[in-house]
């Protein structure tokens, strides 16, 4: 039965809302799914624990596959009006040579580039579109703490928010609350985990107009940096061995800056702008997936279901594709106010294989390229497949388009 009875005074429920679908987490998966369902006349509550969308160093990439989805929704032209940059290729640079890792301009798509757009602006754009539908409700500052369970079926959530405790009851609850998913924890889902051999430090430095555009992976002696063109800034990822962050901090910021300059001497004229550790965000890299994405009344999608490594920046791509497949499969059951466990299983059946393939691709890159450099101090040797014309488009296709095409069917 529901745990709603006999609550202590501080846990008193201020109000109860009823809806078709309660989505927890307004990241790319949750926001896009909310829009797709709202367009179908389905009542949606979207709960976001933060009070705005601004976060440092979130993934800011929108891939060609997602631009195609935006076009199918009639939103691509409006999205392209927002200030952004375009990444047409990703290159790899060593002390001896520069080669192309992924050339998106060679792909047969109307959007042969990765759009670099701050994720906060993308989420604002999507939720503003969703607000055009009166059956969509966005609640910011909603810290979900409990699942409502009755007769073994999830019936919604309780959250702390404005003034105290609130309750949203729903035909279906969807966890889109990211890599540290609260609902995944509350639902006691079992994960299959891997341990990537790296963590990442993210920071920003000014970009000069004459410097290269796009993205670059730079390999030094035991060092790897990623530089992403953000217009007037570089977003830079400094890759470190897994678990070495505290040791690096103890060594001191001066040593880190020296290592960065050893790999990218061109940054020496602005490295002093990196004045303290508060300018640097630490990302503990994970890669995992839950064995079963659902239980009665509850479905996990995006990073809540499968935590992606940052290799290739494909996390947003796969999260939004999850959202589209979820909407395609579940819109009709939600309209009928009856979602069967078999309906939820169909979502995982459609999305698990591409997820496992891309995670295997990421693991291969990490094992063959990152591990020898970071742990054995080996010199980077570009893989043979990047030198063969017949094979060189494979990384670009995997990163830009995913394993299988996903289209809006509702």
Least confident of 181-195, 328-342, 368-382: 368-382
For residue 108, with 0-12 CB atoms within 10 Å meaning exposed, 13-18 middle and 19 or more buried, which class applies? exposed
Q: Are 362 and 312 in contact (CB under 8 A)?
A: yes
The verdict on 316 and 273 lying in the same domain is no
> Do 78 and 158 sit in the same domain of this protein?
yes
Same domain, 142 and 227: no
pLDDT at 8 over 50: no
Instruction: Identify the top-confidence range among 27-41, 94-108, 184-198.
Output: 27-41
Q: Do 140 and 172 share a domain, yes or no?
A: yes
What confidence category does residue 57 fall into, taking pLDDT thresholds of 50, 70 and 90? low
pLDDT per residue as tens digits for the range 200-241? 999 999 999 888 888 899 998 788 999 998 888 999 999 998
- Within a domain: 277: yes
Same domain, 40 and 184: yes
Domains: count for the chain: 2
**What is the pLDDT confidence band of residue 390, given thresholds at 50, 70 and 90?**
low
- Looking at the predicted structure, is the pLDDT value of residue 93 above 70? yes
| pLDDT score, position 2 | 41
Q: Confirm whether 3 is domain-assigned.
A: no
What pLDDT is attached to residue 364?
Answer: 85
Per mean pLDDT, which range of 24-38, 42-56, 116-130, 140-154 is the poorest? 42-56
Q: Contact 253/274 with Cβ under 8 angstroms?
A: yes
Which range marks the domain in which residue 188 is found?
9-194+286-401
pLDDT of 316-339, one tens digit each? Answer: 999 999 999 999 999 999 999 999
d(CA 50, CA 181): 14
The residue ranking higher by pLDDT, 176 or 96, is 176
128 and 27: one domain?
A: yes
Q: Is 386 exposed, middle or buried (0-12, 13-18, 19+ CB in 10 A)?
A: middle
Report the C-alpha dihedral over residues 128, 172, 313, 210, rounded to 10 degrees.
Answer: 0
Can you give the CATH number for the domain in which 298 is found? 3.50.50.60
pLDDT of residue 17: 96
Residue 1 within any structural domain of the chain: no
Banded model confidence at residue 167, pLDDT cuts 50, 70, 90: very high
H or E stretch covering 315? helix 315-335
Claim to verify: residue 257 and residue 291 sit in the same structural domain: no
Task: Output the pLDDT for position 6.
Answer: 43
My answer on whether 149 and 206 are in the same domain is: no
| 339-348: Cβ within 8 A, 24+ apart | 339/171, 339/172, 339/297, 341/294, 341/295, 341/296, 344/293, 344/294, 344/299, 345/294, 347/293, 347/294, 347/299, 347/301, 347/322, 348/292, 348/293, 348/294, 348/305
410 occurs within a structural domain: no
Nearest of 301, 287, 292, 290 to residue 30 by alpha carbon? 301
The count of other CB atoms within 10 Å of the CB of residue 390 is: 7
Is the pLDDT at 56 greater than 70? The verdict is: no
pLDDT at site 7: 46
User: Between 263 and 388, whose confidence is greater?
Assistant: 263
Around 318, how many Cα atoms within 13 Å sit in the side-chain half-sphere?
32
Which range among 4-13, 44-53, 99-108 shows the weakest confidence by mean pLDDT?
A: 4-13
Q: Is residue 407 part of a domain?
A: no
Give just the sign of the alpha carbon dihedral 125, 131, 135, 138. Answer: positive
Q: Looking at residue 266, what is its pLDDT?
A: 92
| Token pair for 314 | 């494909």
Instruction: Looking at the structure, tell me whether residues 111 and 151 fall in a common domain.
Output: yes
Which of 233, 265, 283 is where one domain is finished?
A: 283
188 & 249 share domain: no
* Distance from C-alpha of 254 to C-alpha of 88, rounded to nearest angstrom: 34
- Domain membership of residue 4 (yes or no) is no
Residue 54 in tokens: 């601004």
* In contact, 127 and 34? CB cutoff 8 Å: yes
Residue 225 lies in a domain: yes
Domain boundary among 283, 313, 335: 283
- As a whole number, mean pLDDT of residues 33-52 equals 97
* Domain presence at residue 2: no
What mean pLDDT is predicted for residues 162-186? 95
Residues 362/274, Cβ–Cβ less than 8 Å: no
Of 18-32, 53-67, 297-311, the poorest mean pLDDT is in 53-67
- Tell me if 262 sits within 8 A of 256, measured CB to CB: no
Pair (248, 132) in one structural domain: no
Q: Give mean pLDDT, residues 79-107.
A: 89
Among the three residues 283, 303, 338, which one is the final residue of a domain in this structure? 283
| Residue 273 and residue 300 in one domain | no
Res 181 pLDDT > 60: yes
């Amino acid at each position: 039965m529901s745990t709603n009875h006999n609550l202590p005074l501080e846990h008193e429920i201020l109000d109860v809302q009823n809806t078709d679908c309660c989505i927890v987490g307004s990241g790319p998966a949750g926001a896009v799914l909310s829009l797709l369902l709202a367009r179908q006349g389905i009542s949606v509550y979207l709960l976001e624990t933060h009070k705005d969308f601004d976060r440092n160093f979130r993934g800011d990439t929108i891939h060609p596959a997602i631009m195609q989805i935006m076009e199918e929704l009639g939103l691509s032209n409006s999205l392209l009006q927002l200030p952004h940059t375009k990444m047409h290729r990703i290159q790899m640079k060593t002390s001896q040579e520069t080669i192309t890792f992924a050339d998106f301009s060679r792909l047969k798509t109307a959007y042969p580039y990765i759009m670099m757009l701050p994720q906060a602006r993308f989420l604002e754009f999507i939720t503003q579109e969703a607000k055009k539908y009166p059956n969509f409700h966005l609640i910011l500052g909603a810290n979900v703490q409990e699942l409502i369970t009755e007769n073994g079926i999830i019936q919604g959530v309780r959250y702390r928010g404005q003034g105290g405790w609130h309750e949203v009851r729903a035909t279906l609850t969807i966890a889109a609350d990211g890599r540290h998913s609260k609902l995944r924890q509350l639902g006691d889902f079992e994960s299959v985990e891997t341990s990537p051999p790296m963590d990442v430090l993210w920071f920003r430095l000014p970009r000069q107009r004459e410097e290269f555009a796009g993205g670059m992976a730079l390999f030094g002696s035991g060092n790897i940096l990623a530089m992403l063109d953000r217009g007037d800034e570089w977003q830079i990822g400094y890759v470190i061995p897994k678990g070495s962050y505290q040791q690096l901090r103890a060594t001191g910021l001066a040593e880190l800056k020296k290592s960065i300059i050893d790999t990218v001497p061109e940054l020496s004229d602005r490295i002093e702008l990196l004045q303290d550790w508060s300018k640097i965000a630490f990302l503990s890299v994970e890669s995992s997936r839950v064995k079963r994405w659902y239980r009665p009344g509850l479905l996990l999608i995006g990073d809540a279901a499968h935590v992606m490594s940052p290799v290739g920046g494909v996390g947003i791509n796969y999260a939004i594709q999850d959202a589209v497949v979820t909407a395609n499969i579940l819109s009709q059951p939600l309209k009928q106010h009856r979602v069967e466990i078999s309906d939820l299983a169909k979502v995982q059946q459609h999305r698990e294989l591409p997820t496992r393939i891309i995670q295997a691709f990421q693991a291969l890159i990490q094992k063959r390229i990152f591990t020898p450099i970071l742990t054995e101090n080996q010199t980077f040797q570009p893989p043979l497949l990047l030198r063969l014309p017949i094979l060189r488009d494979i990384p670009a296709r995997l990163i830009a388009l995913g394993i299988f095409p996903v289209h809006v069917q509702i």
